[in-house]
Chain A
Amino acid sequence: MCQRSGYVSHKKIVDWIDVRIGVREVVDKELTGYLLPRNINSWYSMGSILLFAFALQVVTGMLLLIYYVPDADKAFKSVSTIMNDVPYGWLIRMLHAVGSNMMVLALLFHMLSVLFMGSYKKPRELNWVTGFILFTLVQAISLTGYLLPWSQLSFWATTVATNSASVMPVVGPYLVEFLRGSPLVGPPTLGRFFALHVAVIPAVIAALIGAHLFLLKRTGVSTPPFGVKDTDNQWQGDSYSYEDHPGGIPFFPNFACEDMRSIAIYMAIFLAVVFFDPYLFFPKDAFLPANPFATPAHIKPEWYFLANYQTLKLFPNELIGLSLQAVAMTFLALLPFVDRGRERHPLRRRLFLICSVGGVLLWIGLSIWGHFS
């Protein structure tokens, strides 16, 4: 009886909204009637994981803003206060700092799954390009966030990272000073990195996420190349057509549950790091306040920049090392325009498989080498 009355009041509320904005039609079209391929797999949840991870970064970042002071004289102390004095400050900060690393990891897996399942191929070139720009923006937001605690690690990692731009012909030295806001990393650098980290880059990321999802909705979800006979790209390229999946599984509740499960697994791994090995991504220099007159030995960037760092060390000329990385990044960004084959199954794309597995192994190898060098 009670349940029945609850159902009736719930129905009344939905009716009230429905006659105004047609919410049931939206639910039918975008949730229960939004059909996905029957052979869809868990890798398709990586996007949802990333959305969740980004939202968590935004929320924890806003909370940190309450106590963080973006002033070179006070930044380190304010972070220490958050960690030691503010109740649960350690949790919020660790969720943010470890979360950024976990987000990069999830992003790499998202990109790898798209690569191996050939989902970047036409007509989804724009999805890939927006995703790739998001990838570079996530790297940028991580780099700018790295400076904010104003630790020895922050200070010197930013010194080395910004100094890389000096190898650019003609404009290099000025570019470095422009990035830093002063000849050396100092209070002006903190001001501009803070603005980039909390306002500019998040806004651009949010806009690009919107564009990425819009493109996904307009093109339709790609069919995984596994478990089906014909793995050729069916798109003809003559006119716009939405890739629908008649007889597929509904997004809600079926795949939404799958998404929730994937997010739960992600959170379990993430929280395991936060609670059991919170300083996994923190070298000891992260616990010392920045000292512009004392360079620590063996300063290294974050794990996802180690391959870039090692590549720069391998080449006697920094410009060659940097140019090579720029070429590799451009190639990856424009991959859908280079790889135009119709086949999408990774095992039937020998050249792709050799290059991609080789590339991943090279990246891992350079990262390990960079870590131990």
Chain B
Amino acid sequence: MLQQLLVITDNEAIIDIIMCAGGFMETDRNRRTFLGVCLGSLGIIAAAAVSWPLFRYLAPRSASETSGKVVIPDTDVREGDAKFFEYAGSSAVLIRKKNGELAAFSAVCTHLGCIVQWEKAKQDFLCPCHGGRYSADGVVMAGPPPRPLKKLPFTVAGGNITIG
């Protein structure tokens, strides 16, 4: 536009006016950009101030908040039996093998997250969802599970078994 006007006129006064207007427009645009950036920044800060509490409100409770030690009396688990319980917001199982040895696992199948069942007669774990089978040591014996069951730490003292 400016170039066209320069071509069609050689009147210096008119060119001066146009140049001034152009300069003004440039300043105006810079001012608008500056204000836009300020407003955008404020908007981002405000969005963050709203989003963070919202995220924290909706976020699942972390393991450290929900976990705690679980104490099970020694007499609750007889030889060859299993006891299922809630641990760290998930399901876990404590078994006493036929040789008297104790073992604690996460009861969540490593395939697609179903809860495994203890088969007392066979002394192994079966996941009913897709037929995954684990030994009493949590090792995969058959089916689709990619990994063994997660082992959980425990201690035995004073007639109690403490998991975690």
- Cβ distance B73 to chain A, nearest Cβ, rounded Å: 28
List chain B residues, Cβ under 8 A from A88.
53-54, 56-57
Asked if A92 is at the interface (CB within 8 A of a chain B CB), the reply is yes
List chain A residues, Cβ under 8 A from B54.
63, 88
The answer to whether A89 touches B57, judged by C-beta atoms less than 8 angstroms apart, is yes
The answer to whether B57 touches A3, judged by C-beta atoms less than 8 angstroms apart, is no
List chain A residues, Cβ under 8 A from B53.
87-88, 91-92
- Cβ distance B57 to chain A, nearest Cβ, rounded Å: 5
- Cβ distance B50 to chain A, nearest Cβ, rounded Å: 10
The answer to whether B59 touches A3, judged by C-beta atoms less than 8 angstroms apart, is no
- Cβ distance A32 to chain B, nearest Cβ, rounded Å: 17
The answer to whether A87 touches B33, judged by C-beta atoms less than 8 angstroms apart, is no
Asked if A357 is at the interface (CB within 8 A of a chain B CB), the reply is no
List chain A residues, Cβ under 8 A from B59.
87
Asked if A133 is at the interface (CB within 8 A of a chain B CB), the reply is no
List chain A residues, Cβ under 8 A from B58.
63, 66
List chain B residues, Cβ under 8 A from A66.
58
B33-67 interface with A by 8 A CB criterion: 33, 53-54, 56-59
- Chain B count of residues within 8 A CB distance of the other chain: 7
Contact with B along A74-97 (1 / 0, CB 8 A): 000000000000111101100000
Residue of B nearest to A3 (CB): B33
A87 to B54, CA, bound (A): 9
List chain B residues, Cβ under 8 A from A91.
53, 57
List chain B residues, Cβ under 8 A from A3.
33
The answer to whether B57 touches A92, judged by C-beta atoms less than 8 angstroms apart, is yes
- Cβ distance A7 to chain B, nearest Cβ, rounded Å: 12
Residue of A nearest to B36 (CB): A3
- Cβ distance A175 to chain B, nearest Cβ, rounded Å: 39
The answer to whether B33 touches A63, judged by C-beta atoms less than 8 angstroms apart, is no
Residue of B nearest to A86 (CB): B57
- Cβ distance B119 to chain A, nearest Cβ, rounded Å: 37
Residue of B nearest to A64 (CB): B57
A92 to B59, CA, bound (A): 14
List chain B residues, Cβ under 8 A from A87.
53, 56-57, 59
A66 to B54, CA, bound (A): 12
Contact with A along B51-89 (1 / 0, CB 8 A): 001101111000000000000000000000000000000
Residue of B nearest to A91 (CB): B53
- Cβ distance A59 to chain B, nearest Cβ, rounded Å: 9
A117 to B47, CA, bound (A): 37
List chain A residues, Cβ under 8 A from B57.
63, 86-89, 91-92
A247 to B57, CA, bound (A): 49
A91 to B54, CA, bound (A): 10
List chain B residues, Cβ under 8 A from A89.
57
Contact with B along A37-48 (1 / 0, CB 8 A): 000000000000
- Cβ distance B27 to chain A, nearest Cβ, rounded Å: 16
19 contacts between A and B (CB under 8 A): A3-B33, A63-B54, A63-B57, A63-B58, A66-B58, A86-B57, A87-B53, A87-B56, A87-B57, A87-B59, A88-B53, A88-B54, A88-B56, A88-B57, A89-B57, A91-B53, A91-B57, A92-B53, A92-B57
User: Which residues of A pack against B, CB within 8 Å?
Assistant: 3, 63, 66, 86-89, 91-92
Give 4 closest A-B pairs by Cβ, nearest first.
A88-B53, A87-B56, A88-B57, A88-B56
User: Besides A63-B54, A86-B57, A87-B57, 15 other CB < 8 A contacts?
Assistant: A3-B33, A63-B57, A63-B58, A66-B58, A87-B56, A87-B59, A88-B53, A88-B54, A88-B56, A88-B57, A89-B57, A91-B53, A91-B57, A92-B53, A92-B57
